[in-house]
Structure formats: structure tokens, C-alpha cells
Amino acid sequence: MAGIVAAGLISRAISMGVSSLWSVDPQGKQGVQGSTGATGATDPLGPTGATYALLKIILSRI
């Protein structure tokens, strides 16, 4: 049961990470910049940072 939930969360995190790849930086400093899904705050590390943050959140819930 926990495995099914974890798989769902991971697939959701991946889809959120992909969508963050296409979010535009409103300040125009970078054409492509990711943001963390949890807070919506600007992520200075870009998509990699967003993915890391999402995985960290997921792992803390398992």
C-alpha cells in the first residue's frame, strides 16, 4: 500500500518538476527558471533545485 502511494507521489513530483521547467522568470533574469511546488517561491537553482525540494518533501512523508 505504501509503495503505491509513494509511486503516485513520485510521479506527481516528476510532472510538477517538468512543469517548473517551463515557468518563466517574471524578472527576466533567466528565460527558464524552476520554482518549488510547495511554496511557489522562486528557486535560484532552477529545475534541479525544484526537483530536489519536491523529493525532499516526498521522502519526509514516507
Q: How far apart are CA 10 and CA 31, in angstroms?
A: 26
| Residue 48 CB-half CA count within 13 A | 2
Q: How far apart are CA 24 and CA 3, in angstroms?
A: 34
Q: How far apart are CA 14 and CA 54, in angstroms?
A: 9
pTM of the complete model: 0.26
Q: Are 33 and 21 in contact (CB under 8 A)?
A: no
pLDDT above 70 coverage of the chain, percent: 18
Residue 57's pLDDT is: 80
Number of domains the chain is built from: 1
Containing domain of residue 56, as a range? 4-60
